């Protein structure tokens, strides 16, 4: 029998308890040992819970109990999760977490401790909820060099964008609906401003390329500025707007990584990833494009991924899983100004009849796109591929002509 402690009895934590309880027989068969919950750590009281006798408010009780070999951290946030997880690893306990903030901020350090202590630190649930992605990337794709990763990594923003695209709902209304349905939190900033997606692409990039990527170093743009007009232009171009986290290694060895809304062609597998679903594309040099699709969040999808990691820990008390990456190095993340892409730009001509000609003279070979009910003084186009700084320079030059750019969205190639 293996004793497990669960730290945090929120949505995911209570899901983990349910999954372990409801699947106990098949889990024991797979792990070749019974998995037993010894403690549940939470500052709140749950006197009516069937697990009432397992609750504790004392982290030290868990830390000092040698019978506890696996600790599940599903509290979220960095404080006190980071201290708790670090202490558990140092005490020789394996840790499973769904906490993307923790892994994105402290992954390299915690993995190093796990390695030194010969225990496991697993976090399949931190990216893509119930979608298998961490393990397939580390194991199944081990014989590939990852050329690129691109993913719809946040279900809340994908739900909002889907509502805007399908039902022509304004951003604010779609956000309100997401909140009413429980998909978005009352303070939705982490989702709609792209920070959640950023943590996840950082974790995936670390796995793919072996170096930690700190979220602060990643250009991150949310979806708060996306309008129905942009959605209409994307449609007439032949695609949809999706919030994409993307990462690839450049020829100079630096990492190009960002989170941004993007025009995605309807030909792309990612374009049909709708509602709260996530989709992650991994482009391997040998295997080509692989896409993983499923619910990226939610109580039971996430909990089931956590519990699968617990089973893996039990199976690997002797042979530690080789999962790890180095800390970052200076200037590892390339300068966003140098990133090259094609952009969709929407401009107000302010009655300049030569506005389009001026845009052509500044951007080169542009592709004009139109929408229905397009005002006379508005035009939109797809620019040729240029560096981010070149695009910004051209936008400034347009502004000097009195032509205002009111939308700028990257055009995706995935």
State the residues that interact with its own copies by CB under 8 A: 19-20, 23, 26-27, 30-32, 124, 129-132, 135-136, 139-145, 269, 272, 284, 286-295, 298, 300-301, 303-308, 310-312, 315-316, 318-319, 322
CB of 5 or CB of 307, closer to its own copies = 307
Which residue, among 402, 278, 396, 316, has the nearest Cα to 118 in the 3D structure? 316
CB of 215 to its own copies, least distance (A): 25
CB of 86 or CB of 295, closer to its own copies = 295
Contact 194, 243 (CB under 8 A): yes
Locate 12 and state its tokens: 């995911």
Distances (CA, A) of 65 to 93, 120, 306, 384: 10, 18, 22, 62
CB of 98 to its own copies, least distance (A): 13
Q: What is the four-CA torsion angle of 62, 64, 67, 68, rounded to 10 degrees?
A: 30
CB of 225 or CB of 272, closer to its own copies = 272
Locate 114 and state its tokens: 């796990």
CB of 230 to its own copies, least distance (A): 24
CB of 271 or CB of 383, closer to its own copies = 271
Tell the residue number behind the tokens 């429980």, with chain if given: 182
Q: At 365, is the secondary structure helix, strand, or coil?
A: coil
- Cα 148 from Cα 157, distance rounded (Å): 22
| Residue 200 appears among annotated catalytic residues | yes
CB of 283 to its own copies, least distance (A): 10
Half-sphere exposure of 189 (CA within 13 A, CB side): 1
- The string of DSSP codes covering 280-314 is EEEEETTTEEEEEEEE---HHHHHHHHHHHHHHHH
**Residue 246: partners with Cβ closer than 8 Å, 6 or more residues away:** 148, 149, 150, 151, 201, 256, 257, 258, 259, 412, 414
- Cα 284 from Cα 309, distance rounded (Å): 25
**Residue 116: exposed, middle, or buried by beta-carbon count in 10 A (0-12, 13-18, 19+)?**
exposed
Report helix, strand and coil shares of the chain as percent, to nearest 5.
Answer: 40, 25, 35
CB of 140 or CB of 177, closer to its own copies = 140
**Residue 396: partners with Cβ closer than 8 Å, 6 or more residues away:** none
- Cα 22 from Cα 35, distance rounded (Å): 12
Helices (H), 125-261: 134-135, 155-167, 171-180, 189-192, 195-209, 228-237
CB of 109 to its own copies, least distance (A): 20
From 200, 321, 386, 408, the catalytic residue: 200
CB of 222 or CB of 296, closer to its own copies = 296
CB of 310 or CB of 395, closer to its own copies = 310
CB of 270 to its own copies, least distance (A): 10
CB of 208 to its own copies, least distance (A): 11
CB of 15 or CB of 188, closer to its own copies = 15
CB of 275 to its own copies, least distance (A): 11
Catalytic residues: 200
């Amino acid at each position: 029998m293996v004793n497990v402690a669960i730290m945090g009895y929120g949505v995911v934590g209570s899901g983990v308890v349910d999954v372990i309880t409801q699947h106990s027989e098949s889990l024991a068969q797979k792990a070749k040992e019974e998995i037993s919950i010894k403690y549940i750590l939470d500052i709140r009281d749950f006197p009516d819970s069937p697990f009432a006798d397992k609750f504790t408010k004392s982290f030290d009780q868990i830390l000092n109990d040698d019978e506890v070999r696996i600790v599940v951290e599903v509290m979220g946030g960095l404080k006190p999760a980071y201290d708790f997880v670090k202490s558990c690893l140092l005490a020789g306990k394996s840790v499973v977490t769904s906490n993307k903030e923790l892994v994105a901020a402290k992954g390299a350090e915690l993995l190093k401790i796990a390695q030194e202590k010969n225990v496991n630190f697993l976090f399949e649930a931190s990216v893509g909820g119930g979608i298998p992605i961490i393990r397939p990337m580390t194991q199944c794709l081990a014989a590939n060099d990852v050329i690129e990763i691109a993913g719809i990594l946040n279900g809340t923003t994908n739900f909002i964008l889907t509502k805007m695209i399908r039902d022509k709902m304004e951003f604010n209304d779609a956000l309100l609906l997401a909140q009413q349905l429980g998909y978005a939190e009352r303070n939705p900033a982490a989702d709609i401003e792209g920070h959640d997606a950023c943590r996840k692409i950082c974790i995936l990039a670390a796995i793919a390329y072996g170096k930690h990527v700190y979220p602060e170093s990643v250009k991150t743009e949310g979806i708060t500025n996306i309008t129905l007009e942009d959605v209409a232009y994307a449609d007439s171009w032949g695609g949809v707007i999706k919030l994409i986290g993307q990462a690839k290694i450049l020829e100079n060895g630096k990492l190009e990584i960002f989170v941004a809304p993007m025009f995605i062609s309807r030909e792309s597998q990612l374009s049909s990833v709708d509602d709260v679903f996530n989709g992650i594309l991994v482009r391997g040099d040998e295997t080509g494009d692989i896409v993983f699709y499923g619910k990226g969040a939610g109580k039971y999808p996430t909990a089931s991924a956590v519990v699968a990691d617990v089973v893996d820990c039990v199976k690997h008390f002797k042979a530690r899983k080789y999962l790890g990456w180095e800390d970052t190095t200076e200037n590892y993340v390339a300068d966003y100004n140098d990133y090259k892409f094609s952009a969709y730009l929407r401009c107000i001509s302010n009655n300049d009849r030569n506005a389009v000609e001026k845009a052509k003279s500044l951007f080169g070979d542009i592709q004009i796109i139109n929408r229905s009910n397009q005002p006379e003084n508005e035009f939109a186009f797809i620019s040729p591929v240029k560096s981010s700084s070149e695009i910004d320079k051209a936008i400034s030059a347009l502004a000097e002509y009195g032509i205002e750019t009111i939308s700028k969205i990257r055009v995706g190639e995935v």
